[in-house]
């Protein structure tokens, strides 16, 4: 009697890593959306002038009072936008990697 085992662990691991990577690749755009949604709204100027450079994976708040808003000037975003976005990225990364 002969038993033959064929384990395709490498294929399963590669497939899992590919799925995780695809989700991680979308994370900068998710972070941009989170940042923009966290940005306080009075006239809408701050949200309109917040942009995302996909090539650099960079969020840019291009208005003169961005720093003050990020320091908690607005009651709508007392923790600013950058720190909550960093927390979102950390939490979302963990969710993606662990699958939870």
Residue 29 confidence class, pLDDT cut points 50, 70, 90:
very high
- pTM score of the predicted model: 0.83
Q: Extract the runs of DSSP E, i.e. beta strands, from 1-100.
A: 50-53, 58-61
pLDDT at residue 100, rounded to an integer: 79
Would you say residue 92 has pLDDT above 70? yes
pLDDT at residue 40, rounded to an integer: 94
**Cα radius of gyration (the chain):** 20
The overall average pLDDT reported for the chain is: 90
pLDDT tens, residue by residue, 31-74? 999 999 999 999 999 999 999 999 999 999 999 999 999 999 99
- In the chain, where the domains are located: 21-98
């Amino acid at each position: 009697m002969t038993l033959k085992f064929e384990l395709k662990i490498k294929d399963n691991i590669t497939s899992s890593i590919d799925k995780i990577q695809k989700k991680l690749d979308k994370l900068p755009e998710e972070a941009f959306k989170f940042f923009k949604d966290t940005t306080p709204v009075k006239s809408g100027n701050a949200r309109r002038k917040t942009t995302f450079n996909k090539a650099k994976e960079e969020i840019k708040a291009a208005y003169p009072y961005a720093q003050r808003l990020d320091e908690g000037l607005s009651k709508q975003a007392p923790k600013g936008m950058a720190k909550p976005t960093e927390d979102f990225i950390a939490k979302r990364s963990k969710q993606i990697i662990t699958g939870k």
